[in-house]
């Protein structure tokens, strides 16, 4: 027994002293756990790579699906577009993954957000020897518009040419205004309603032609006429009446053949002349037979002279005679001269004389207050010329004072101090800085279009119908719309209803639309209390989306925001041609655009016509070359509005 123990101790000692044998045993013992550790690392690394590719595919699908959306929730086409991007980035059986179908849908309770999820398994390589055959993988992601706070003013050309038709891009045609109305709705569907807590979106509208309809949206104190008795000067007319101021009666005696009339009969009878009359001839002369008795000369309000004639004497006798002898003949003349004055006020003692055509101050306080007021250019007599006897303000405005020295070569980057019409934020505090009511019912052009001509005028009804006088649809201040069918607080109709009721009329004055789009959007101007900050306290991104179907066209004969240019001469010098005025307004547009962009407002410019109307000043008005486009079909217009909405919104992954 002792020998056996000794041999065992000798073996263990040799084993302890032999390091090679030690290592071999340890390696043999560690093979299995090392295999498990390495195999697990390899398989987990593969799983990580596969999941990363799946997540990329998920993100791409969510973004593509949201980008494709043009309605409030996903359509089947949107889902197909999203799946196409998923499959492109992660083809089936990538890395041996089991076949699966990603779930693509509008997120429950937040339908404008796209939600994508996917689950699959991949086979293991080494871990299968330990009984682990597959590894499960799952991904999910959401995509939405991360808009922040966004204010958008849609400045829309609603001039007469918008009633014309244009290609729909599919072989047919559509009225341009109808195409615009649909594109604006698509714009809303793409950008969405927003949320006061996560990102407020407000939409405003500024339809324009040769003026804008904003007056009733302004505080009354901002309008000339907001205070009782305030007047504004219009190129109009007013009736002049005359009345009798007195009369004078004179009596004299005239002998036949003499021009002089004498104070008494005897002097006339003794006057030296050889002219004589027979008895019957003297009787006729005495009554001024054949020449009127009495006779009248002159027309009121000039002096009117009425002369009554009667026989006085024949050869000194006051008795008439049938004598055929030629004798001296004298008649009596009683001359009544009436004098007149004129007045602008009618009364029971006045008679209508004529119209005075001039620049005339008219009390506009009742008109601005919204009352139906008597038309001061109306006369109930036949010379009323068919005008309505009363008038009510439609809300359109004339601009405040400007600097008529601005030319086509004036600086683009500075606005004169007295050009209040081009100043965005200046508050109205005086007659010069207030806006004025546009009153076409009393405005009269003249055939010669001379500022001093008081002659004939153009028929007012035809003048308005021809588009020389136009008042577009009322503008709408910025407001949040929970849907296109909802009526927001403070508004009278929904987004849809407002857009559907836009009317096309008038000429193309881009400046007035751009100017008022900026005023309604500015955080520091007339609506600063509403625009300066959002309820959630975050910054506000501000955008003007400007759409036109035509180039700038200014005319002397238009009565618009700057009055009747040919007579008022506010926005151009006397004698300026239509071409001169157009060039001046293009420069004014450039000045306005630069002022807007300097306030940090983004300008998008959209041309919409079957010919190129994107002039250089419109291109330069846009915030960059990527912010303007020319569209020749309604399909292109729709896409442009949607793309702008996507750019404004900023597509983001939210999960």
What is the number of residues in the chain? Answer: 655
**Percent of the chain residues topping a pLDDT of 70:** 87
pLDDT 10s digits, 196-226: 776 899 999 999 999 999 999 999 999 999 9
Average pLDDT for 401-430: 96
**What would the pLDDT profile of 517-560 be if each residue is shown by its tens digit?**
999 999 999 999 999 998 888 889 999 999 999 889 999 889 99
pLDDT tens-place string over residues 505-520: 988 999 999 999 999 9
Looking at residue 323, its pLDDT comes to 86
More reliable by pLDDT, 379 or 157: 157
Per residue in 583-637, pLDDT (tens digit) is: 999 999 999 999 999 999 999 999 999 888 788 999 999 999 999 999 999 999 9
Over 70: is that where the pLDDT of 452 sits? no
What are the tens digits of pLDDT across the range 96-105?
A: 889 999 999 9
Which pLDDT belongs to residue 71? 72
| Short-list 526, 506, 520, 512, CA closest to 571 | 512
pLDDT digits (tens, 9 = 90+) for 316-331: 899 877 888 899 999 9
Helix-helix angle 19-68:76-89, to 10 degrees: 150
Distance CA 315, CA 319 (A): 10
The answer to whether residue 29 scores a pLDDT higher than 70 is: no
Q: How far apart are CA 493 and CA 486, in angstroms?
A: 8
pLDDT of residue 384: 47
- Which DSSP state fits 272? -
Per DSSP, the three-state class of 394 is coil
- In this prediction, residue 634 carries a pLDDT of 97
Model pLDDT, residue 38: 56
Confidence of residue 5 (pLDDT cuts 50, 70, 90): very low
Q: What share of the chain in percent tops pLDDT 90?
A: 64
- Name the pLDDT band for 11 (thresholds 50, 70, 90): low
What mean pLDDT value characterizes the chain? 88
Residue 450: CB atoms within 10 A of its CB come to 12
Q: pLDDT tens digit string along 77-95?
A: 999 999 999 999 999 988 8
Give the whole-angstrom CA distance, residue 608 versus residue 165. 11
Q: What is the pLDDT confidence band of residue 46, given thresholds at 50, 70 and 90? A: confident
Which residues fall within 8 angstroms of residue 213, CB to CB, at 6 or more apart?
207, 394, 395, 396, 397, 471, 472, 473, 474, 475
CA atoms within 13 A on the CB side of 63: 12
Higher pLDDT pick, 339 / 317: 339
Name the band, by pLDDT with cuts 50, 70 and 90, for residue 389. confident
Query: Looking at residues 363-368, what average pLDDT do you find?
Result: 98
Least confident of 5-9, 311-315, 597-601, 614-618: 5-9
Domain boundaries, the chain: 2-145, 149-230+364-653, 239-343
Distance CA 287, CA 308 (A): 8
3-state secondary structure of 190: helix
What's the confidence (pLDDT) of residue 611? Answer: 86
pLDDT of residue 173: 97
| The pLDDT value given to residue 243 | 98
| Poorest-pLDDT segment among 65-74, 114-123, 462-471 | 462-471
pLDDT in the model for residue 355: 82
Q: What is the pLDDT of residue 73?
A: 81
Residue with tokens 């292109």: 636
- Measured N-to-C along each axis, helices 510-521 and 578-597 cross at an angle, to the nearest 10 degrees, of 20
Residue 340, pLDDT > 60, answer yes
pLDDT at 444: 82
- 3-class DSSP state of 455: coil
> Class assignment of domain 149-230+364-653?
alpha beta
For range 23-27, the mean pLDDT: 53
pLDDT value at residue 219: 97
């Amino acid at each position: 027994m002792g020998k056996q123990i000794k041999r065992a101790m000798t073996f263990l000692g040799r084993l302890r002293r032999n390091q090679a044998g030690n290592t071999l045993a340890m390696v043999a013992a560690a093979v299995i756990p090392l295999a498990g550790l390495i195999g697990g690392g390899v398989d987990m690394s593969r799983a990580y790579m596969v999941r990363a590719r799946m997540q990329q595919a998920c993100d791409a699908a969510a973004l593509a699906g949201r980008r494709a959306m043009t309605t409030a929730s996903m359509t089947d086409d949107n889902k197909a577009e999203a799946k196409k991007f998923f499959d492109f980035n992660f083809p089936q059986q990538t890395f041996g993954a089991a076949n699966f179908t990603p779930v693509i849908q509008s997120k429950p309770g937040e339908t404008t957000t796209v939600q994508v999820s996917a689950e699959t398994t991949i086979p293991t390589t080494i871990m299968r020897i330990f009984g682990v055959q597959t590894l499960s993988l799952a991904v999910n992601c959401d995509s939405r518009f991360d808009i922040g706070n966004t204010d958008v003013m849609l400045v829309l050309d609603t001039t007469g040419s918008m009633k014309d038709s244009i290609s729909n891009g599919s072989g047919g045609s559509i009225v341009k205004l109808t195409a615009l109305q649909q594109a604006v709705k698509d714009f809303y569907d793409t950008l969405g309603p927003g949320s006061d807590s996560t990102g407020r979106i407000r939409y405003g509208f500024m339809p324009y032609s040769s003026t804008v309809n904003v007056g009733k949206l302004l505080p009354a104190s901002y309008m000339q006429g907001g205070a009782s008795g305030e007047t504004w000067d219009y190129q109009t007319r007013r009736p002049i009446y005359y009345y009798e101021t007195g009369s004078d009666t004179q009596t004299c005696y005239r002998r036949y053949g003499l021009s002089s009339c004498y104070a008494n009969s005897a002097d006339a009878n003794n006057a030296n002349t050889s002219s004589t009359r027979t008895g019957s001839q003297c009787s006729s002369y005495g009554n001024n037979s054949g020449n009127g008795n009495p006779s009248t000369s002159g027309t009121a309000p000039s002096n009117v002279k009425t002369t009554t004639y009667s026989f006085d004497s024949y050869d000194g006798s006051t008795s008439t005679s049938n004598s055929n002898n030629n004798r001296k003949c004298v008649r009596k003349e009683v001359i009544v001269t009436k004098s007149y004055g004129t007045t602008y006020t009618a009364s029971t003692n006045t008679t209508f004389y004529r119209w005075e055509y001039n620049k005339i101050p008219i009390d506009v306080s009742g008109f601005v207050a919204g009352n139906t007021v008597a038309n001061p250019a109306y006369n109930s007599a036949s010379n009323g010329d068919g005008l309505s006897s009363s008038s009510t303000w439609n809300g359109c405005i004339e601009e405040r004072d400007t600097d008529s020295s601005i030319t086509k070569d004036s600086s683009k980057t500075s606005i004169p101090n007295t050009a209040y019409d081009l100043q965005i934020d200046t508050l109205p505090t005086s007659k010069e800085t207030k806006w004025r009511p546009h009153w076409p019912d009393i405005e009269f052009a003249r055939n010669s279009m001379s500022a001093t001509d008081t002659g004939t005028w153009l028929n007012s009804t035809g003048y308005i119908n021809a588009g020389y006088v136009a008042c577009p649809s009322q503008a709408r201040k910025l407001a949040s719309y929970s849907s296109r069918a909802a009526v927001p607080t403070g508004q009278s109709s929904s987004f849809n209803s407002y857009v559907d009721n836009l009317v096309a009329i008038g000429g193309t004055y881009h400046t007035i639309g751009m100017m008022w789009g900026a005023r309604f959007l500015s955080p520091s101007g007339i609506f600063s209390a509403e625009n300066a900050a959002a309820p959630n306290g975050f910054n506000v991104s501000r955008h003007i989306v400007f759409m036109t179907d035509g180039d700038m066209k200014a005319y002397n004969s238009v009565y618009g925001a700057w009055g009747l240019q040919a007579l008022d001469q506010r926005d151009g010098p006397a004698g300026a041609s239509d071409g001169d005025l157009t060039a001046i307004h293009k420069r004014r547009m450039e000045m306005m655009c630069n002022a807007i962009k300097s306030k940090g407002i983004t300008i998008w410019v959209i041309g919409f016509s079957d010919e190129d109307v994107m002039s250089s000043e419109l291109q330069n008005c846009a915030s960059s070359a990527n912010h303007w486009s020319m569209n020749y079909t309604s399909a292109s217009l729709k896409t442009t509005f949607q793309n702008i909405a996507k750019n404004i919104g900023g597509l983001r992954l939210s999960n």
